[in-house]
Amino acid sequence: MLRRVYGAEHDDPDPGPEPGREYADLVGGPLDGLLLDVTGWSRQARAGGVALATEIGAFGAGGHAWYRARPADPARWDWDGDSP
Residue 11's pLDDT is: 87
SS3 content of the chain, % helix, strand, coil (to 5): 5, 40, 55
Give the percent of the chain with pLDDT over 90: 83
Residue 43 reports pLDDT greater than 70: yes
CB neighbourhood size of 72 (10 A): 6
Q: Is the pTM of this model over 0.85?
A: yes
pLDDT tens digits, 15-41? 999 999 999 999 999 999 999 999 999
